Structure 1
Amino acid sequence: MKALISIIAVILFMLPVEAECAEKKVIRIGTDNTDLILQVGDNGRLYQSYLGPRLRHDEDLTRFDWYRHAASDGSVSRRGWEVYSASGNEEFFEPALAVTHADGNPTTYLYYVDSESKAVEGGTMTVINLKDDKYPVNVTLNYVAYPKENVIKTWSEISHSESKPVTLSAYASTMLYKSAGSYFLTEFSSDWAKEAQMSSQQLQFGKKVIDTKLGSRAAMHTHPFFEIGIDGPVKEHSGEVIMGTLGWTGNFRFIFEVDNVGNLRVIPGINPYASTYELKAGEIFTTPEFIFTVSYDGAAQGSRNLHDWARNYSLKDGMGSRLTLLNNWENTGFNFNQDVLAQLMKEAKDLGVDMFLLDDGWFGNKYPRKDDRAGLGDWEVTHDKLPGGIAALVDSARNAGVKFGIWIEPEMVNPKSELFEKHRDWVIMQPNRDTYYYRNQLVLDMSNPKVQDHVYGVVDDILTENPEVAYFKWDCNSPITNIYSPYCKDKQGQLYIDHVRGVYNVLKRIKAKYPDVPMMLCSGGGARCDYEALKYFTEFWCSDNTDPVERIYIQWGFSQFFPSKAMAAHVTSWNRNTSMKFRTDVASMCKLGFDIGLKEMTPDELAYCRQAVANWKALQPAVMDGDLYRLVSPYESNHAAVDYVSKDKNLAILYAFDINPRFQEKLLPVKLQGLDPDKRYKVEEINLMPGRRSTLARNGEVLSGDYLMKVGLDAFTSSRNTSRVVKLTAME
């Protein structure tokens, strides 16, 4: 009885406290290093009160005001950092959400309802429910915090129960705020063969917008990630930096807005351009995931945070190994036959790689794929070119002792194809205008379930008939042109969104049935590079530009957000002014492949490549699964250097490149990072051409990690386009 009385007393005591806490409720979304603190204001709405280094004491979480501004007359304004601000309210700046209700009212006010947290793989998920007080519109904010990796991902879900559909004209994934003296944006612009080019600028009052409107090959001109330096430009090894990326393979938009009192808001999400979305009652509109980290030790630590998170939780087979390969494209183009390919498979074995990859040109009969003008969409083997079909190629690969992979571009169609003749209604194409062709092709309407079945069938048919096919290179060479969907009919504003969702539907089906088949994500180079797509792909093709000098810059940019095992790089004949060693060393920093004829190599070059492949396989614990340290930037020097360090710090690899040294330029030692200062490492230059001895000072010596990080190695030379690969092995 006493126990019951005590319980009742406790409940009665808690009731007013809970009511008070509901008014001042604080929600902490935290990692081991960062806190994102949200607070319910006394008006019942949800505000961000803090984003920064993790607070040590819980009592400090409540010492924030949810409003931050002063009105022009000096009084306190009730405007604040609303977590998911909607259009039509008293906020003066860019909203996250814009809804036109069934009765035509364009205003929305979101109020806090409840929240909960639960453990998920690798972290904690927080779910927050908001609703409008006048209309039955609901928004659920989702956050997953990964403590060890210091990464947070967030997305929103929008739904309603109004009598008729509502119209969404803005639907961001989230909103983040920061108050500082200045903000510097690093963005990543792109074009074919010129991906991930980094540039920086200070954000001033007003809005800076990065967006894309290309639909399918969406990241061709700009990539879906950014860095923001707080109180100074982004630095590699020091300073606070916010690094964010959006998991969306279609049109995206980032808004960076500095307000009238110098605060910054960041709004990432789908680009609503030509995409007003009619949301039915009961339907849930789910925004893409926005993934971000806050580093207090520069972009380098932020990159390592994202790399670890990707390998552990996002990238397909993120903890698995990767296949080296020989591709035939640069060697043969469209001109090959069954015998030629069988011989190339033997060359792949001779080179020491794991797989032969057949590229474009293997399909089509009524309209054979002899160039890029015909055949796309007709996924049957060209009989007179490959009479034995894929089965014979698989047999040849098996006999040669390598695996077999194949190129596909299943989302696209040439007008000169049987598929186009039979299913014009499956193609995105305007009915009453002249058709514009990008690269002689059009895009299939992936919003159409019948098209999704067809695209899924391309992969399913190949693997059903040839279960030994070990790899797919999935290409996407055209943006959406002639924007009109026969399937969407009177809801054209939904095409850009439903098209991408259709792509995901197909990829989910493929992964469910064939979970262990690796696939490369390609889009005329690196125009698809996001973490939603990479749930279904083991790697992506960074660029068609394989000039090793240009690749140093391209890989430097992509490495800001992606681990090396997600980035495919091939040794080719681009830039023959550089040596085979230089080209191979650059590609060895990523997932290594070759796209070159072995017959054009000298015996020494072939011997070198064989040894480089063997070395790369032995170095996977560092290069593929270790920590990356960018040491010398090609943007700031005539050289470049990085090192990879295995998680146990027993193995490290230094890559050093002389790009274009100046005459009598002073050469500084390269100071390594990430080593154990108390371990002793044997220094050994590897990837040497046959008959060449290392000229690296300290080669063969055993040096402490402390010395290597504080004094370094004289790894650079005064010769143009030369490279060094140095292996450091911890001694017992």
Structure 2
Amino acid sequence: MAIVFEEKKKKWILETINMGYVFALDKEGKLKNVYWGSKLPRFEDYPEVDDLVVMDRYTWDDEFSVRGEKNNVEPCLKVEYYDGVRDVVLNYVDFEIKGNQLIIKLLDEQYGLSVKLFYRLIEKYDIIERWVELENSSDKEIKIEDIKSASLYVENSEKVRLNYLTGMWGSEFHLRKEKINEGSKVLESRVGKTSAYMNPYFAIDYDATEDNGKVYFGELAWSGNWKISIQKRIYERIAIIAGINEWDFTYILEPSKKFMTPKFVFGFSEEGFSKASQNLHHYQLDYILPQDKAHKLRKVLYNSWEATTFNVTEENQKILAEKAAKIGVELFVIDDGWFGQRNDDRAGLGDWYVNKEKFPNGLKSLIDYVKSLGMDFGIWVEPEMVNPDSDLYRKHPDWVINFQNRPRSVERNQLMLNLAREDVKQFIIDFMDKLLLENNIDFVKWDMNRHVFESGWPEVESERQREIWVKYVWNLYDIWKYLREKYPHVTFENCSSGGGRVDLGIMQYADQVWTSDNTDPFDRLEIQEGFSYAYAPKIMMGWVTDWGGKDTYPLEYRFHSSMMGSLGIGADLNKFSEKDFEIAKKQVQLYKEIREIVQEGYQYRLSSVAKERYFAVQYLNEDKSEGVIIYLRNPRRFGLFDRVNLKLKGLEEKSIYKIYEGVGEEEIEVKTLSGKALEERGIIIEDSSKEFFSTNKIKHFYSRVLKINKI
């Protein structure tokens, strides 16, 4: 069984295929975490409470840390009761096992605060989901000041390292590794969304590599303000506490009401970072993404933004649609500028009616034309925002997030609607309903382009204003849930100034995410490498664009960079030559041949773009019979006579594999070797340096896509 309770020792043992997680009751009846790591052969092998090395007179190792009870770990729960008492005392009540789910019941009997700890095992991927439910069973209000989803503990060591993802707009998902020293390291967001600055992902290792060593990892499923704290002392185990950020937050829990935290997802790999990433990837595909589309292949899309910006018209979109269909695009998307008086980013946002000057026949004529070319039709919206210069704002200036008697900070010429309000929530549902009911739309790109600043909510009493941070996110999820259920044929993409809202919370409703507004094909390599540690390739959109100028990068290089996830094209097709169209058509065909392996397969990072003179990623299908290698040179580490020895991963040692490249009849064999040979001796990538001898020039941006086939 995956979940076992040992009555005599008052110990709960949770096991996945390779991971063990154990906690128990101590002599005072308090829950103590005693183990997280490799699955052990026998239940008797796991530690007891008495085996904990406690060097501090104060409490450590609490399975659910609270503000109170001598606790010295950052609390998961801090409340204030009606009489001013801020000390939480939770006593164990009972437990329940339902299949792969464990529920632990705790109670602060004096004040009627019930706490349920939920554990759900995802055995195949060595992952556990944790969340908490609070219930006020008293007749008095309880003020929640801090509520996290879980506290975890890992072994203390001088070698221990923290891995996390950081960045900014246009430069998201950069992987950082640093030694964990004494004190607290905080990863967080305070801007009202997940943010590009930090992502709610962490991994802790002890000199692990891609393929070897222990890696403890976790992600938080929340799209608002979040916090992950890593707390270390000299002796005790290292604590990890994760959940909603307590900054500027309180929540009044009324009698008989409940509060549910977001899920904190954590797991373990003893085969390095590659296995940790693969488990997260396939957990997301099987358990997080909306399951009606999770395993459907993502279509090759074209977005017309770079070609026309705000100057969208029925005529110019039809011209672009013809050209997109010519290269094999399957989904045509119009971006900003189709609605209201939206001729630039200073006006019209919030007025969600079709601009009759640009589309005199409404959207139907364009949609019908796009579909006649064999493509689906998609559209851009930004429902959470409003321009001050709009009919909506002039009618409802009170609908934006604001403080009374304070300026309203305008960013990107827009203000932020208060989704915590039920009337704002209903407004968004109503206009999206109208848009999707009246038009045959297959795809929605949902954008969100600013942060929360003046986080006031003047329409509610002051003690409830700080609930805005959670009620905003809850209502956002409700809107997406409603739209998905009513329009199951529509695919939804989540975007927030690029990768500013990428997390497991929004992924329960979004089929894919916009990774970054930076579409420079070389810059994208480091962004995409970092993204791959935490999120599945299928979720990640990559566009072929004219970033930096149409001729800055070879078109093939741009395509190959974008093929590492789900492929999109945003370049101005009006500037394409006939040769460009030939190349693009061939590359789209190539992607369609490999996309099932890229989107559904197992990803292996063969190198790091920050450390190597090339970046190479390998993908294998589940039975290891087919694969893909995408190779791109790193010109910043380029040597004149580059010959790269590329060693593959994950193959069956005794099977024979053919490595080949090209499309259709142009396919050529590169090498045929056993799986073990490809892993041990590798294959030589000749690169393009040999062209130096005939042309005296070197292609700095050089790339190849190789296919793997078991024969």
Match of 1:184 in 2: 161
**In structure 1, C-alpha distance between the alignment counterparts of 2:86 and 2:240, rounded to whole Å:** 23
When residues 140 and 371 of structure 1 are mapped into structure 2, their CA distance, relative to the original with a 3 A threshold, is same
Provide Cα deviations, 1:53-106, integer angstroms capped at 9, x if missing partner. Answer: 0111122246453743035xxxxx573411111102212231111111111111
What letter corresponds to residue 190 of structure 1 in structure 2?
G
**Structure 1 residue 673, shift from structure 2 partner:** 0.7
Match of 1:711 in 2: 681
**In structure 2, C-alpha distance between the alignment counterparts of 1:94 and 1:644, rounded to whole Å:** 40
- Residue 37 of structure 1: which of 16, 19, 22 is its match? 22
Match of 1:5 in 2: none
Q: Is the 8 A contact 1:315 1:534 kept in 2?
A: yes
**Structure 1 residue 666, shift from structure 2 partner:** 6.0
Which segments of 5 or more consecutive residues in structure 2 lack a partner in the other structure? Answer: 690-698
| Partner-residue secondary structure (3-state), 2:192 | coil
When residues 377 and 78 of structure 1 are mapped into structure 2, their CA distance, relative to the original with a 3 A threshold, is closer
**Structure 1 residue 716, shift from structure 2 partner:** 5.8
- Residue 104 of structure 1: which of 84, 94, 102 is its match? 84
Q: Is the 8 A contact 1:23 1:44 kept in 2?
A: no
- Residue 358 of structure 1: which of 315, 327, 334 is its match? 334
| TM-score (normalizing by structure 2) | 0.94
Match of 2:128 in 1: 152
**In structure 1, C-alpha distance between the alignment counterparts of 2:641 and 2:612, rounded to whole Å:** 11
Q: Is the 8 A contact 2:222 2:506 kept in 1?
A: yes
Instruction: Find out whether 1:287 has 2:264 as its counterpart.
Output: no
Give the 5 Å matches for 1:649-688.
649-660=624-635, 661-664=637-640, 667-686=643-662
Match of 1:401 in 2: 374
**Structure 1 residue 722, shift from structure 2 partner:** 0.7
Instruction: Find out whether 1:608 has 2:577 as its counterpart.
Output: no
When residues 208 and 80 of structure 1 are mapped into structure 2, their CA distance, relative to the original with a 3 A threshold, is closer
Instruction: Find out whether 1:136 has 2:112 as its counterpart.
Output: yes
**Structure 1 residue 715, shift from structure 2 partner:** 2.2
Match of 1:476 in 2: 448
**In structure 1, C-alpha distance between the alignment counterparts of 2:654 and 2:577, rounded to whole Å:** 43
Give the 5 Å matches for 1:520-535.
520-535=493-508
**Structure 1 residue 25, shift from structure 2 partner:** 1.4
Between the two proteins, what is the percent identity of the paired residues? 32
When residues 518 and 261 of structure 1 are mapped into structure 2, their CA distance, relative to the original with a 3 A threshold, is same
Match of 1:554 in 2: 527
Match of 2:240 in 1: 266
Provide Cα deviations, 1:517-539, integer angstroms capped at 9, x if missing partner. Answer: 11110001000101111111110
Match of 1:7 in 2: none
What letter corresponds to residue 56 of structure 1 in structure 2?
P
| TM-score (normalizing by structure 1) | 0.91
What letter corresponds to residue 239 of structure 2 in structure 1?
R
Match of 2:557 in 1: 582
Provide Cα deviations, 1:174-232, integer angstroms capped at 9, x if missing partner. Answer: 0001123132111211211000011121111111111111014x313111112111x33
**Structure 1 residue 683, shift from structure 2 partner:** 1.6
Give the 5 Å matches for 1:261-660.
261-316=235-290, 317-364=293-340, 368-466=341-439, 468-490=440-462, 491-575=464-548, 576-660=551-635
What letter corresponds to residue 620 of structure 1 in structure 2?
R
Instruction: Find out whether 1:215 has 2:192 as its counterpart.
Output: yes
Alignment coverage as a number of residue pairs: 690
| Partner-residue secondary structure (3-state), 1:554 | helix
| Partner-residue secondary structure (3-state), 2:426 | helix
| Partner-residue secondary structure (3-state), 1:637 | coil
**Structure 1 residue 552, shift from structure 2 partner:** 0.4
| Partner-residue secondary structure (3-state), 1:223 | strand
**In structure 2, C-alpha distance between the alignment counterparts of 1:43 and 1:78, rounded to whole Å:** 14
Q: Is the 8 A contact 2:204 2:215 kept in 1?
A: yes
Deviates more, 1:198-207 or 1:675-684: 675-684
**In structure 1, C-alpha distance between the alignment counterparts of 2:174 and 2:138, rounded to whole Å:** 46
| Partner-residue secondary structure (3-state), 1:50 | strand
What letter corresponds to residue 109 of structure 1 in structure 2?
V
| Partner-residue secondary structure (3-state), 1:144 | strand
Provide Cα deviations, 1:420-449, integer angstroms capped at 9, x if missing partner. Answer: 111122111222112210111111111111
- Residue 95 of structure 1: which of 69, 75, 78 is its match? 75
**In structure 2, C-alpha distance between the alignment counterparts of 1:161 and 1:103, rounded to whole Å:** 16
**Structure 1 residue 450, shift from structure 2 partner:** 1.2
**Structure 1 residue 652, shift from structure 2 partner:** 0.5
**In structure 1, C-alpha distance between the alignment counterparts of 2:312 and 2:59, rounded to whole Å:** 67
Provide Cα deviations, 1:372-429, integer angstroms capped at 9, x if missing partner. Answer: 1111111001110111112122111122221110000001111111111111221112
Q: Is the 8 A contact 2:188 2:227 kept in 1?
A: yes
**In structure 1, C-alpha distance between the alignment counterparts of 2:98 and 2:423, rounded to whole Å:** 38
Match of 2:694 in 1: none
| Partner-residue secondary structure (3-state), 1:496 | helix
Q: Is the 8 A contact 1:248 1:530 kept in 2?
A: yes
- Residue 98 of structure 2: which of 91, 95, 118 is its match? 118
Q: Is the 8 A contact 2:34 2:47 kept in 1?
A: no
**Structure 1 residue 118, shift from structure 2 partner:** 1.7
| Partner-residue secondary structure (3-state), 2:248 | coil
Q: Is the 8 A contact 1:582 1:722 kept in 2?
A: yes
**Structure 1 residue 315, shift from structure 2 partner:** 1.2
When residues 385 and 111 of structure 1 are mapped into structure 2, their CA distance, relative to the original with a 3 A threshold, is same
Which segments of 5 or more consecutive residues in structure 1 lack a partner in the other structure? Answer: 1-19, 72-76
**Structure 1 residue 21, shift from structure 2 partner:** 6.2
What letter corresponds to residue 262 of structure 2 in structure 1?
P
| Partner-residue secondary structure (3-state), 1:227 | strand
Q: Is the 8 A contact 1:49 1:64 kept in 2?
A: yes
**Structure 1 residue 502, shift from structure 2 partner:** 1.1
When residues 487 and 677 of structure 1 are mapped into structure 2, their CA distance, relative to the original with a 3 A threshold, is farther
**Structure 1 residue 457, shift from structure 2 partner:** 2.0
**In structure 1, C-alpha distance between the alignment counterparts of 2:573 and 2:413, rounded to whole Å:** 32
